[in-house]
Structure 1
């Protein structure tokens, strides 16, 4: 059974929801990088995030969702399962818009601020094209130790 799981995908693809469901079912702790990498609405310094990831992957069991390209290879290197969510761009944009509206009524503290901008929507639109090569490149050296599921 898988015990060290990385979940990547477009914003709004359902990474956090899937991570929570798998974590509950398999009794594995979940780390959401959007909460892990942000403090008081500010993205932490890359070297601090990397050290946090180094400490996380030392654990026997973990699920980590989020792309954060700077630490992607480190997480994949230590994982036994990589789940790559590839939902349609329109579906992801609608989910992000829904999450944004929902956050206005129940704000969350200490994580990635929910901000909608044209740049962010373009990022979502181009995500799969932009990150496909990076994800494949990070995964390739570890494919013998890490299963890949694309959904």
Structure 2
């Protein structure tokens, strides 16, 4: 494992997992939220997102945290390992609300400065509906990679913790 992507629903624990995986592996970590969002919640143009990622792909090793479906295919192509954090949606909602409270009016560690934590009804709906909408697209893209990439699906906190502790899964 030298080139890793981490995908999953908002609130699934991607960033927390990526920080811990970085500690375990020593690989450099890049959060797409931090790279793509400019101060004031201005999202980089798609062309800039592509250029940022192409620069990352030139590096020998990396962990990239984030979905961004419009450019996911290029990350799948460039990586050797995919972690799909596929926790239940109630848990994702809980984490989104907890994160909002923890970082209210400040930028969290995996987000660019000038983008204070916020949620609104649209984001909560998007998170709740992720399992039946965006997740389906993620699964289709990941299924195409199973033959050529190592794909690790972690479905709950126990599986996440066990993986990080090096325990074998049944």
* TM-score of the pair, normalised by structure 1: 0.90
- Displacement of 1:98 in angstroms is 1.0
Contact 1:9 1:86 in 2 (8 A): yes
Contact 1:38 1:111 in 2 (8 A): no
Match of 1:88 in 2: 88
| Higher mean C-alpha displacement, 42-51 vs 133-142 | 133-142
- Displacement of 1:142 in angstroms is 3.3
C-alpha distance in structure 2 between counterparts of 1:127 and 1:112, whole Å: 23
- Displacement of 1:43 in angstroms is 0.7
Summarize the alignment of residues 1-151 of structure 1 with structure 2, pairs less than 5 Å apart.
2-40=1-39, 41-104=41-104, 107-108=106-107, 109-110=112-113, 113-151=116-154
Q: Say which SS state the counterpart of residue 7 (structure 2) adopts.
A: strand
Contact 2:5 2:65 in 1 (8 A): yes
C-alpha distance in structure 1 between counterparts of 2:3 and 2:85, whole Å: 17
Q: CA offsets, 1:95-117, max 9 Å, x none?
A: 11111111126x12536542211
* TM-score of the pair, normalised by structure 2: 0.81
Q: Say which SS state the counterpart of residue 142 (structure 1) adopts.
A: coil
- Displacement of 1:126 in angstroms is 1.2
C-alpha distance in structure 1 between counterparts of 2:85 and 2:142, whole Å: 15
| Higher mean C-alpha displacement, 65-74 vs 138-147 | 138-147
In structure 1, the gaps of 5 or more residues are none
Which aligned segments of 4 or more residues in structure 1 are displaced greater than 6 angstroms?
A: none
Contact 1:79 1:146 in 2 (8 A): yes
User: What count of residue pairs does the alignment treat as equivalent?
Assistant: 149
| Higher mean C-alpha displacement, 137-146 vs 38-47 | 137-146
C-alpha distance in structure 1 between counterparts of 2:57 and 2:70, whole Å: 15
